[in-house]
Amino acid sequence: QVQLVESGGGLVQDGGSLRLSCAASGPTLSSYAMGWFRQAPGEEREFVAAINWNGEKTSYNYSMKGRFTISRDNALNTHYLQMNSLKPEDTAVYYCAASFPGDTLRHADYEYRYWGQGTRVTVSS
């Protein structure tokens, strides 16, 4: 059974940085495209970033491009979200997810099969 566990969330000041990690256990997900989503209070869950199975292709939500970087280490069965220049509007619960094996980068949450429990990020002004 696949399990995804996020870590690295917390409280940070406006302009600060955080790195989120998502560790997978159970069957390896090294062949899967992976992604990050977030959900702010009272808002719908939104796409943040995606990465293909070998890390050579990435995709970002336009509002986060240039500030966030998604990466992965298949040897560790882990993927990451480096978040720089954080803003108060980045405050949300961040979820990692696994979609399907291959190169296709998906942007809709219904296209993802496995989900973590979420890690909270709070950016203070």
pLDDT digits (tens, 9 = 90+) for 36-92: 999 999 999 999 999 999 999 999 999 998 999 999 999 999 999 999 999 999 999
pLDDT at residue number 26: 79
pLDDT at residue number 27: 78
Angle (nearest 5°) at CA 68 between 96 and 22: 25
pLDDT at residue number 50: 98
Spatial distance between the Cα atoms of 67 and 31, rounded to a whole number of angstroms = 26
Where residue 69 falls (left for φ over 0; alpha for ψ -120 to 50; beta otherwise) is beta
Summarize the chain as % helix, strand, coil (round to 5): 5, 55, 40
Mean of pLDDT values over 111-120: 97
Question: Is pLDDT of 110 > 90?
Answer: yes
pLDDT at residue number 25: 86
pLDDT at residue number 94: 98
Question: Is pLDDT of 108 > 90?
Answer: yes
pLDDT at residue number 14: 98
pLDDT digits (tens, 9 = 90+) for 64-74: 989 999 999 99
Burial of residue 45 (CB within 10 Å: 0-12, 13-18, 19+) is: middle
Burial 64-76 (b: 16+ CB within 10 A, else e): beeebbbebebee
Phi, psi of 111 (to 5 degrees): -90, 5
pLDDT at residue number 102: 87
Structure tokens at 43: 């808002």
pLDDT digits (tens, 9 = 90+) for 19-34: 999 999 877 888 999 9
Phi, psi of 90 (to 5 degrees): -85, -5
